[in-house]
Amino acid sequence: MVSLRLPVEHLRVMIMEIDERLLRRVEVENLIGLSRSAIYLRMQSGQFPQPVRVGKNAVRWRESAVRSWIAARPPARETE
């Protein structure tokens, strides 16, 4: 019999992914149209959702948090 022992952090992430999709930074950038530096500046000022740590050097954003942020934004101005 093979025993799988996953770190607690990996198990927590797996459970979260069942409930909700977690987005990589590149996916967030493509979804909202902002650069990495713009995203992190907004995070620092409290204007963008904080990511979830999924590993020592990896973070992800909850898709629902990003989509809520998009929905709360004022509509873009139309150019003439």
The pLDDT tens digits of the residues spanning 4-31 come to 676 666 656 656 556 689 999 999 999 9
Task: Write the single-letter amino acid at 62.
Answer: R
Task: Give Cα separations from 37 to 1, 4, 42, 44 (angstroms).
Answer: 48, 38, 9, 11
Residue 36 has pLDDT above 90, yes or no: yes
pLDDT of 58: 95
68 confidence band (pLDDT: 50, 70, 90): very high
